[in-house]
A and B are shown apart, each in its own frame.
Chain A
Amino acid sequence: MTQFKFNGNWRKAIRVLPQAVIVYLLLAALVILMLGPYLYIFSSSFKETYTLISIPPQLIPEEFVWDNYSYILTELPFSLWFFNTILVALLVTVGTVLIDALAAYAFAKKQFWGRDFLFGLMLATIMIPGALLLIPAFLITNWLGLLNSYGGLIIPGLANVLGVFLLRQFMQTIPEELEHAARIDGCSDFGVFWRIILPLSAPALATLSIVVFTSQWNNLVWPLVVLNDKDLYTLPLGLALLRSEFQVNYGITSASAFLSVVPLVIVFLFLQRYFLEGLTVGAVKG
C-alpha cells in the first residue's frame, strides 16, 4: 500500500478528511494503550504511599518523592541484581554467538559425515517445550556442581539451536570464492572463519545477539530454579520476589519494573532494525 500524498487535489483531500480523523484517533488510542502503562508506572514510581492508593488515581503525582528509588537501592540488593543481569546476559550473548557461529560455519560450508542427521536432530529439538527439559537440566546442573552460581546461570543456555539455524542460513549466502581467495593467501581454516565468515555475517550476528541478550535479560524460569542466594538474583527473579516475599508496595514495584526495562529500551532505540529482524527468530524460544 502506498502512502497518500497531497498533490494539490483539494476535493480529494476533503473527501478523505473524515477517514483520516478516525484513523488518527484510533492510532492515538493505540499509542496510549501501548505506551501508557510504561508512562504510568514511571510517574507512579515517584508517588508516596498515600498517593499510590488515592481515588481517583493520580496520573501525575501531586508531590514527587524519591523514596521508592532510594528504598530499592539501599534496602534491596537491586543494584546487585542489575549487575548480575548485565553480566549474565552479556556473557551468554557472547558465548552463544561464538559457539553458534562456529557450528553454523561447519553446517553451512562443510561436508562431513553425519551432517544432515545432526542438523535434523537439532531442528527436531525445537519442538520440545522448555518446561519438559527443566527438571533434568536442573539435575544435570546440580550434578555438575553449578547450582547457585553464575556458571549455572550461563553455561546451560549457551547452545542455542535457533542461533545455529539463523547463522547457517546467512553464511550459506556468502560466496565460496571469497573463502578460496583467502586460502590461496595462506589463511588457515580457522583464519577463514575468523577473518572472512564472521565479519561478513555481522548483520546476522547482530540479530542473534539482540535476540539472545533480550531473552536472557528477561529470563525468569531458569534463574528461579537454579538460584537460592538473593545476591545472585537477576532482575526478573528479583521482581517476582518483590511480590511474593514483601508486602506489595506499588511504588517499589513500579520503580524496579521501570529501571529493569530502561536498558533494553535504550538498546532498542539504537538498534531497532535488529530487534525487528530478530522477532521471528526469538519468537521460537518464547
Chain B
Amino acid sequence: MATTTATTRKSSLTETSFWQRAAVRRNLSAYAFILPFMALFVIFNIGPFFWALWLSLLRGDLVDQVKPFVGLQNYLSLTTDDITLKVFLNSLQYTVSVVPIAVITALALAFLIGNKLVRFKDFYRAVVFFPLLASAAATAQIWSYILAPRYGVLTYLTGLLGIPEIYWLSDPDWALYGILLIEWWRGIGFHIILFLAAMLGVPEELHEAARIDGANAWQVAIKVTIPLMRPVILFSVVMGTIWAFQLFDTVFVLTNGGPVHATATMVWYIYNHAFRYGQVGMAAAMGVVLLLIIMPISYVQMRVLGER
C-alpha cells in the first residue's frame, strides 16, 4: 500500500481525490474477495476448533443428540487409563527415535549427494523424492510384503547376514520400529532435499578458507557447513516432530494399533475412540492434549515460515 500512497501524492489534486475514492471502493471489495475462503474457513476450521474444545467436556457417542456435560472428567480419565498411558509412551518413544534418526541420516546422505565428485545431483534429488509420492496406504502395502515373515525380501536378506528373523509388524517389541522403518523411508527425502539446498547454498569461499587454514573435510563439515545450515536443521526437526506426533495412516493400515497396543498412537486413539468406541469426549480430550504438545513446536515452525 505504501507505493499506492506514494504514487497518488505525485499526481495532481483532482486526480488524487479520484484515485482515493477509487481506492476506498476497491478496498471495500476486499471483503468480497475473501468471502468464499472465510466462509469455509470459519465452518471447517474455526468452528470445529471451539466445538472440539467443548466436546472434550462432554460424554457420549458420536451421534448422540444429547451429550451430558462432565467437566474435566475426560482429562482425569486420560491420566488414570492404562491404554492412554501406553499411547503417550508410544508416541513419545516413536518421536524421540524417528526424529534424530531421520535428521542425522538425512544429513549424512545430503553430504553424500553434495560431495563435489558427484555429477547429476538433480538425478539423486529426484530419486530421494520418489518415496514422497506414494500415499501412506500404498507405502504400507509395499512394505508389508517386504517385511513379511519368512518370504519377505528384507527378512530373507537379513537372514543371509545371519540375523535372526524379526517379526517386524507382529512382535510387540518390534512393531513400533517396523513402523519407524517404513516412515523413515517415506519421509527421508524431505529432509535430504532441504539439507541439500541449504548445503549447496553455503559459499564456496568459506570452505576454501577453512581448507587453507588446514581443516580436513570432516572438520569443514562440522565447523563450517553444519553451523550455517542450522535454521534448516531446526525446521527439519520441527516438521519431523509434528509429523511424528501425528502418526496414524501407516499404523491404521498395517497394525491398527496392535499387537497389544504396541503401535497405538495418539491419533490412533482419537480415531478409534471417536469413530469406533463411541467415546467422543475422551477422543476430543486426547486431541486437546495433542494440541498442547504440537502448539509450542508449531510456533517455532510459524516463526521460521514467517521469516522466509
Contacts and interface: CB of A to CB of B under 8 A. Distances in A.
Interface of A: 1-4, 16, 19-20, 23-24, 26-27, 30-31, 33-35, 37-38, 40-41, 44, 52-57, 59, 99-100, 102-103, 105-107, 110-112, 115, 118, 121-123, 125-140, 142, 155-156, 158-159, 161, 164-165, 169, 176, 180, 183, 189, 193, 214, 217-221, 224-225, 235-237, 239-240, 242-244, 248, 250, 253-254, 256-257, 260-261, 264-265, 268, 272, 275-276, 279-280, 283-284, 286
A3 B120 CA distance: 10
Interface string B258-274: 00000000110011001
B40 A159 contact: yes
B83 interface: no
B46 A121 contact: yes
A44 B141 CA distance: 12
Interface string B1-30: 101100100000000000000100111111
B277 interface: no
Given A123-B302, A257-B134, 15 more contacts: A1-B199, A16-B117, A20-B117, A122-B41, A123-B306, A131-B270, A135-B55, A136-B49, A140-B43, A189-B25, A239-B140, A243-B141, A272-B126, A276-B125, A279-B132
Interface stretch (B93-101, B172-180, B249-257): B249-257
Contacts of B55: 135-136
Given A103-B37, A106-B33, A237-B137, A133 B45 contact: yes
Contacts of B308: 169
B248 A112 contact: no
B243 A286 contact: yes
Given A1-B204, A106-B30, A261-B134, A279 B151 contact: no
Contacts of A16: 117
Contacts of A218: 134-138
Consensus secondary structure, chain A interface: helix
A240 B305 CA distance: 34
Interface of B: 1, 3-4, 7, 22, 25-31, 33-34, 36-38, 40-41, 43-49, 51-52, 55, 62-63, 109, 112-119, 124-146, 148, 150-153, 156, 185, 189-190, 193-194, 199-200, 202, 204, 207, 235, 239, 242-243, 245-246, 248-249, 252-254, 256, 266-267, 270-271, 274-275, 280, 283-284, 287-288, 290-291, 294-295, 298-299, 301-302, 305-306, 308
Contact of A221 (B26, B40, B113, B271): B271
A19 B127 contact: no
A57 B153 contact: yes
A4 B138 contact: no
B45 A26 contact: no
Nearest to B188: A34
22 contacts: A3-B116, A16-B117, A34-B131, A57-B151, A57-B153, A103-B33, A118-B38, A128-B294, A131-B246, A131-B248, A134-B270, A156-B40, A221-B249, A235-B138, A239-B253, A240-B137, A242-B141, A254-B141, A260-B134, A260-B137, A261-B133, A279-B190
A1 B33 contact: no
A30 B108 CA distance: 12
Contacts of A34: 127-128, 130-131, 185, 189
A33 B153 CA distance: 12
B142 A103 contact: no
Contacts of A280: 194, 235, 305
B173 to A, nearest CB: 22
Contacts of B142: 37-38, 40-41, 254, 257
Contacts of A110: 26-27, 29-30, 33
A159 B274 contact: no
Nearest to A125: B45
B123 to A, nearest CB: 9
Nearest to B199: A1
Contacts of A242: 141
A30 B112 contact: yes
B151 A52 contact: yes
A142 B64 CA distance: 13
B48 A140 contact: yes
B246 A2 contact: no
A250 B34 contact: no
A138 B38 contact: no
Instruction: Please provide the 7 A-B residue pairs with the shortest distance between their CB atoms, ordered closest to farther.
Output: A218-B135, A132-B287, A136-B48, A159-B40, A103-B37, A136-B51, A127-B298
A27 to B, nearest CB: 6
A182 to B, nearest CB: 12
A21 to B, nearest CB: 10
B239 A127 contact: no
Most buried by A among B113, B146, B283: B146
Contacts of B305: 165, 280, 284
A207 to B, nearest CB: 14
Given A2-B204, A127-B299, A135-B62, A286 B34 contact: no
Contacts of B33: 102-103, 105-106, 110, 193
B143 to A, nearest CB: 7
A102 B4 contact: no
A103 B63 CA distance: 34
Contact of B252 (A40, A107, A121, A240): A240
